Homo-oligomer: A and B are copies of this chain.
């Protein structure tokens, strides 16, 4: 191995679903973490292959084969398992005794939504371990930091949801926008669609085009509604419309809402600052600057800002993050850091790279 000394690493980690984009990004980030040893890279499809042959950016950085060890077998051998697996996998496999042996950080939606009926309706699958929903913690770090510390089962938020929630959170919590007026239009890079071999995600099908998809039915809708409902203190109903655009990474959320009163720029700005100025990974931009995904790409940052339209009585809130980082892998590592007592920025302190 060229240059990475792992001798002092202490927290033992397994990654299930390690050859998808999110799983691979978790692996890459943990390779830069001071106190982690990656013990298992699990992949059914690539079982027996060298990880560095699949992700050749890691050539000579990691020397490890993909295996197909089961969740329960791995549980006794590691301190934490990251599951970057399809919807339904974990809730079908997980038993309470696994959580006695190790902690789990799950990238799927299996334990994000507390109401099992809503999960089953929007995902169209039965939930096989609803009893675990009680103890799962929703891993939006900046909102749930205290609960995350002791979580055994961490439900890492979705990419659209992290961006959508953080962008509107302060004003929703302060009742400064009308709660059911929210229209969220969000743009996503293609990596959010995963690494599966589908015609729809071929370069020649996706490049030089844009489309809305999942209109009225996208599964991140109830997740956003639930969390913003907690913020507001009442149920929230909103319109969420995602779009696919030709770039690798990035979520941009544009959120239009009716203001609940007459507020000045300074008043709104003060609220955002109150919530976020001490947050290392959330940046409230200067007046009139619109978030751009390139300025957060490759980092754990979420950039947010807003613009009041006195003419219409609306406020337009905007947020940008990297869907594979704060929208998936780096937020998972951020939560990992909180759970295991590390500096919250350990291993995820990347400065966005431009261009």
Contact of A208 among B185, B206, B247, B345 (CB under 8 A): B247
Give the interface residue-count category, chain A.
35 or more
Contact A248 B355 (CB under 8 A): yes
Interface residues of A in 176-197 (CB under 8 A from B): 183, 185, 187, 190-191, 195-197
Contact of A290 among B55, B212, B320 (CB under 8 A): B212
Closest to A322 in B: B353
Cβ of A31 under 8 Å from chain B: yes
A305 to chain B minimum Cβ distance, whole angstroms, is 9
The verdict on A2 contacting B209 (CB below 8 Å), with A195-B202, A216-B311, A237-B312 known, is no
The verdict on A211 contacting B248 (CB below 8 Å), with A3-B280, A355-B191 known, is no
Cβ of A289 under 8 Å from chain B: yes
A191 to chain B minimum Cβ distance, whole angstroms, is 5
Cβ of A205 under 8 Å from chain B: yes
Interface residues of A in 316-355 (CB under 8 A from B): 316, 318, 320, 345, 349, 351-355
A173 to chain B minimum Cβ distance, whole angstroms, is 22
Cβ of A132 under 8 Å from chain B: no
Cβ of A23 under 8 Å from chain B: no
Closest to A247 in B: B208
Contact A208 B57 (CB under 8 A): no
Contact A190 B204 (CB under 8 A): yes
Cβ of A238 under 8 Å from chain B: yes
CA distance A349 to B25 in the complex (A): 16
Contact B351 A58 (CB under 8 A): yes
A333 to chain B minimum Cβ distance, whole angstroms, is 14
Most chain B beta-carbon neighbours within 10 Å: one of A32, A60, A351, A353: A353
A122 to chain B minimum Cβ distance, whole angstroms, is 11
Stretch with Cβ within 8 A of B (4 or more), from A137-145, A150-158, A296-304: A296-304
Most chain B beta-carbon neighbours within 10 Å: one of A21, A25, A187, A296: A187
CA distance A235 to B214 in the complex (A): 32
Cβ of A14 under 8 Å from chain B: no
Stretch with Cβ within 8 A of B (4 or more), from A67-75, A79-87, A97-105, A249-257: A249-257
Closest to A58 in B: B351
Q: What are 14 contact pairs spanning A and B, CB under 8 A? A: A3-B349, A32-B351, A56-B303, A58-B351, A203-B207, A208-B249, A209-B247, A209-B250, A209-B297, A210-B292, A211-B320, A215-B316, A216-B307, A216-B308
**Which 4 A-B pairs rank lowest in CB-CB distance, beginning with the nearest?**
A209-B294, A57-B352, A204-B355, A185-B185
